[in-house]
Amino acid sequence: MTTALVTGANRGLGRRFAAELLQRGAKVYAAARRPESVDLPGAHPIALDVTDPDAVAAAAALATDVDLLVNNAGISTGATLLGDLDGVRAEMDVNFWGTLSVVRAFAPVLAANGGGTVVNVASALSWFAFPGSGAYAVSKAANWNMSNALRLELAGQGTQVTSVHLGLADTDMAAGFDGPKTDPAVVVRRTLDAVEAGDLEVVVDEWSADVKASLAEDPRTFYARFLTT
Protein backbone atom coordinates (compact mmCIF):
# COMPACT_ATOMS: atom_id res chain seq x y z
CA MET A 1 0.00 0.00 0.00
CA THR A 2 1.23 3.48 -0.87
CA THR A 3 1.98 5.79 2.04
CA ALA A 4 1.94 9.43 0.96
CA LEU A 5 2.71 12.77 2.50
CA VAL A 6 1.08 15.79 0.85
CA THR A 7 2.18 19.31 1.76
CA GLY A 8 -0.39 22.08 1.84
CA ALA A 9 -3.09 19.44 2.19
CA ASN A 10 -5.70 21.55 3.96
CA ARG A 11 -7.06 23.25 0.82
CA GLY A 12 -6.82 23.60 -2.95
CA LEU A 13 -4.85 21.09 -4.97
CA GLY A 14 -3.24 19.67 -1.84
CA ARG A 15 -6.58 18.73 -0.31
CA ARG A 16 -7.62 17.17 -3.61
CA PHE A 17 -4.38 15.17 -3.80
CA ALA A 18 -4.93 13.85 -0.29
CA ALA A 19 -8.57 12.98 -0.99
CA GLU A 20 -7.79 11.16 -4.25
CA LEU A 21 -4.95 9.21 -2.64
CA LEU A 22 -7.25 8.14 0.17
CA GLN A 23 -9.82 7.01 -2.40
CA ARG A 24 -7.11 4.96 -4.10
CA GLY A 25 -6.37 3.16 -0.85
CA ALA A 26 -3.26 5.01 0.29
CA LYS A 27 -2.29 5.97 3.80
CA VAL A 28 -2.04 9.77 3.73
CA TYR A 29 -0.21 12.22 5.96
CA ALA A 30 -2.01 15.50 5.29
CA ALA A 31 0.56 18.17 6.12
CA ALA A 32 -0.33 21.79 6.80
CA ARG A 33 0.93 24.68 8.89
CA ARG A 34 -2.33 24.37 10.85
CA PRO A 35 -3.07 20.62 10.97
CA GLU A 36 -6.37 21.30 12.74
CA SER A 37 -7.61 22.77 9.44
CA VAL A 38 -7.37 19.37 7.71
CA ASP A 39 -10.90 17.99 7.40
CA LEU A 40 -10.39 14.75 5.47
CA PRO A 41 -11.70 11.62 7.21
CA GLY A 42 -9.07 8.92 7.21
CA ALA A 43 -6.12 11.28 6.73
CA HIS A 44 -3.36 11.71 9.31
CA PRO A 45 -2.98 15.47 9.89
CA ILE A 46 0.62 16.51 10.50
CA ALA A 47 2.07 19.94 11.31
CA LEU A 48 4.45 21.20 8.65
CA ASP A 49 5.66 24.65 7.67
CA VAL A 50 8.03 23.97 4.78
CA THR A 51 10.06 27.10 5.59
CA ASP A 52 10.81 25.88 9.15
CA PRO A 53 13.74 23.42 9.16
CA ASP A 54 12.81 22.07 12.60
CA ALA A 55 9.23 21.38 11.47
CA VAL A 56 10.48 19.66 8.33
CA ALA A 57 12.86 17.47 10.33
CA ALA A 58 10.10 16.59 12.80
CA ALA A 59 7.76 15.56 9.97
CA ALA A 60 10.39 13.30 8.44
CA ALA A 61 11.10 11.73 11.83
CA LEU A 62 7.39 11.02 12.32
CA ALA A 63 6.35 9.87 8.84
CA THR A 64 9.00 7.17 8.41
CA ASP A 65 6.84 4.93 6.19
CA VAL A 66 6.37 7.42 3.33
CA ASP A 67 7.07 6.22 -0.21
CA LEU A 68 5.25 9.03 -2.08
CA LEU A 69 6.05 12.67 -1.34
CA VAL A 70 3.78 15.27 -2.95
CA ASN A 71 5.29 18.74 -2.70
CA ASN A 72 2.22 20.84 -3.32
CA ALA A 73 2.65 23.71 -0.83
CA GLY A 74 3.22 27.01 -2.58
CA ILE A 75 2.42 30.71 -2.45
CA SER A 76 1.75 33.48 -4.95
CA THR A 77 2.25 37.04 -3.66
CA GLY A 78 1.97 38.90 -6.94
CA ALA A 79 5.41 40.39 -6.33
CA THR A 80 7.46 41.67 -9.26
CA LEU A 81 11.23 41.42 -9.40
CA LEU A 82 11.62 45.21 -9.34
CA GLY A 83 8.93 45.67 -6.72
CA ASP A 84 8.50 44.17 -3.24
CA LEU A 85 11.71 42.25 -2.59
CA ASP A 86 10.23 40.69 0.55
CA GLY A 87 7.53 39.13 -1.62
CA VAL A 88 10.13 37.78 -4.02
CA ARG A 89 12.05 36.22 -1.15
CA ALA A 90 8.86 34.76 0.34
CA GLU A 91 8.00 33.00 -2.93
CA MET A 92 11.49 31.58 -3.28
CA ASP A 93 11.47 30.52 0.37
CA VAL A 94 8.31 28.45 -0.10
CA ASN A 95 8.26 27.41 -3.75
CA PHE A 96 11.96 26.58 -4.08
CA TRP A 97 13.80 26.44 -0.76
CA GLY A 98 10.87 24.96 1.15
CA THR A 99 10.30 22.25 -1.43
CA LEU A 100 14.00 21.42 -1.51
CA SER A 101 14.12 21.28 2.29
CA VAL A 102 11.31 18.72 2.36
CA VAL A 103 12.95 16.59 -0.33
CA ARG A 104 16.29 16.64 1.49
CA ALA A 105 14.61 15.54 4.73
CA PHE A 106 12.56 12.77 3.12
CA ALA A 107 15.15 11.41 0.69
CA PRO A 108 16.52 8.97 3.31
CA VAL A 109 12.97 7.94 4.22
CA LEU A 110 12.17 7.19 0.59
CA ALA A 111 15.43 5.27 0.20
CA ALA A 112 14.63 3.14 3.24
CA ASN A 113 11.22 2.35 1.75
CA GLY A 114 12.47 1.17 -1.61
CA GLY A 115 13.03 4.45 -3.44
CA GLY A 116 9.51 5.76 -3.91
CA THR A 117 8.48 8.91 -5.74
CA VAL A 118 8.74 12.66 -5.34
CA VAL A 119 6.08 14.79 -7.03
CA ASN A 120 6.84 18.51 -7.31
CA VAL A 121 3.92 20.72 -8.31
CA ALA A 122 5.36 23.38 -10.59
CA SER A 123 3.49 25.45 -13.19
CA ALA A 124 3.26 26.47 -16.83
CA LEU A 125 4.96 29.57 -15.41
CA SER A 126 8.09 27.46 -15.07
CA TRP A 127 8.51 28.19 -18.79
CA PHE A 128 7.36 31.81 -19.24
CA ALA A 129 6.43 34.98 -17.40
CA PHE A 130 3.73 37.58 -17.84
CA PRO A 131 3.39 41.07 -16.33
CA GLY A 132 2.89 40.84 -12.58
CA SER A 133 4.08 37.24 -12.32
CA GLY A 134 7.82 37.80 -11.94
CA ALA A 135 8.48 36.31 -8.52
CA TYR A 136 6.16 33.36 -8.99
CA ALA A 137 7.52 32.55 -12.45
CA VAL A 138 11.12 32.65 -11.25
CA SER A 139 10.34 30.45 -8.24
CA LYS A 140 8.54 27.89 -10.39
CA ALA A 141 11.30 27.87 -12.99
CA ALA A 142 13.69 27.06 -10.16
CA ASN A 143 11.28 24.39 -8.92
CA TRP A 144 11.20 22.77 -12.38
CA ASN A 145 14.95 22.59 -12.82
CA MET A 146 15.30 21.46 -9.22
CA SER A 147 13.20 18.44 -10.20
CA ASN A 148 15.52 17.77 -13.12
CA ALA A 149 18.58 17.92 -10.87
CA LEU A 150 17.00 15.85 -8.10
CA ARG A 151 16.02 13.22 -10.65
CA LEU A 152 19.70 12.69 -11.35
CA GLU A 153 20.82 12.90 -7.74
CA LEU A 154 18.16 10.48 -6.46
CA ALA A 155 18.40 7.97 -9.32
CA GLY A 156 20.93 5.89 -7.44
CA GLN A 157 18.45 5.14 -4.66
CA GLY A 158 15.66 4.35 -7.13
CA THR A 159 13.55 7.44 -6.46
CA GLN A 160 11.34 8.71 -9.29
CA VAL A 161 10.99 12.51 -9.52
CA THR A 162 7.95 13.84 -11.38
CA SER A 163 7.36 17.52 -12.16
CA VAL A 164 3.78 18.78 -12.68
CA HIS A 165 2.93 21.74 -14.92
CA LEU A 166 -0.44 23.39 -15.35
CA GLY A 167 -2.05 26.70 -16.11
CA LEU A 168 -4.91 27.79 -13.88
CA ALA A 169 -6.65 25.29 -11.61
CA ASP A 170 -9.99 26.25 -10.10
CA THR A 171 -8.66 26.84 -6.57
CA ASP A 172 -8.49 29.74 -4.11
CA MET A 173 -5.05 30.74 -5.42
CA ALA A 174 -6.48 31.34 -8.90
CA ALA A 175 -9.66 33.05 -7.73
CA GLY A 176 -8.52 36.50 -8.86
CA PHE A 177 -7.52 35.44 -12.37
CA ASP A 178 -9.68 35.28 -15.48
CA GLY A 179 -9.40 32.54 -18.05
CA PRO A 180 -10.04 28.83 -18.40
CA LYS A 181 -9.45 26.86 -15.22
CA THR A 182 -8.93 23.13 -14.92
CA ASP A 183 -10.91 21.16 -12.36
CA PRO A 184 -8.49 20.28 -9.52
CA ALA A 185 -9.78 16.71 -9.61
CA VAL A 186 -8.62 16.43 -13.23
CA VAL A 187 -5.17 17.80 -12.34
CA VAL A 188 -4.77 15.30 -9.54
CA ARG A 189 -6.04 12.27 -11.47
CA ARG A 190 -3.79 13.00 -14.42
CA THR A 191 -0.83 13.48 -12.11
CA LEU A 192 -1.31 10.31 -10.09
CA ASP A 193 -2.00 8.26 -13.21
CA ALA A 194 1.22 9.62 -14.73
CA VAL A 195 3.16 8.77 -11.57
CA GLU A 196 1.87 5.21 -11.69
CA ALA A 197 2.94 5.02 -15.34
CA GLY A 198 6.45 6.18 -14.45
CA ASP A 199 6.21 9.54 -16.25
CA LEU A 200 8.80 12.11 -15.27
CA GLU A 201 6.82 15.19 -16.31
CA VAL A 202 3.09 15.88 -16.33
CA VAL A 203 1.84 18.60 -18.69
CA VAL A 204 -1.72 18.86 -17.50
CA ASP A 205 -3.43 21.11 -20.03
CA GLU A 206 -3.20 22.38 -23.60
CA TRP A 207 -2.04 25.85 -22.52
CA SER A 208 0.94 24.38 -20.68
CA ALA A 209 1.79 22.18 -23.67
CA ASP A 210 1.69 25.21 -25.99
CA VAL A 211 3.91 27.22 -23.65
CA LYS A 212 6.46 24.42 -23.45
CA ALA A 213 6.47 24.07 -27.24
CA SER A 214 7.12 27.81 -27.61
CA LEU A 215 10.52 27.42 -25.93
CA ALA A 216 11.91 26.13 -29.21
CA GLU A 217 10.81 29.31 -31.02
CA ASP A 218 12.10 32.88 -31.14
CA PRO A 219 10.99 34.41 -27.80
CA ARG A 220 9.96 37.60 -29.60
CA THR A 221 7.05 35.69 -31.09
CA PHE A 222 5.73 34.56 -27.72
CA TYR A 223 6.37 37.77 -25.77
CA ALA A 224 4.97 40.11 -28.43
CA ARG A 225 1.59 39.71 -26.74
CA PHE A 226 2.91 41.16 -23.47
CA LEU A 227 5.40 43.79 -24.60
CA THR A 228 4.35 47.36 -25.32
CA THR A 229 6.31 49.92 -27.29
Active site residue ranges: 136, 140
Q: Which residues contact 68 (CB under 8 A, 6 or more apart)?
A: 2, 3, 4, 5, 21, 26, 116, 117, 119, 195
Q: How far is CA 139 from the centre of its chain?
A: 11
Our CA angle for 35, 36, 39, nearest 5°, is 95
Distance CA 140, CA 217 (A): 21
Distance CA 164, CA 153 (A): 19
Choose among 53, 98, 71, 82: nearest CA to 4: 71
Choose among 95, 101, 94: nearest CA to 122: 95
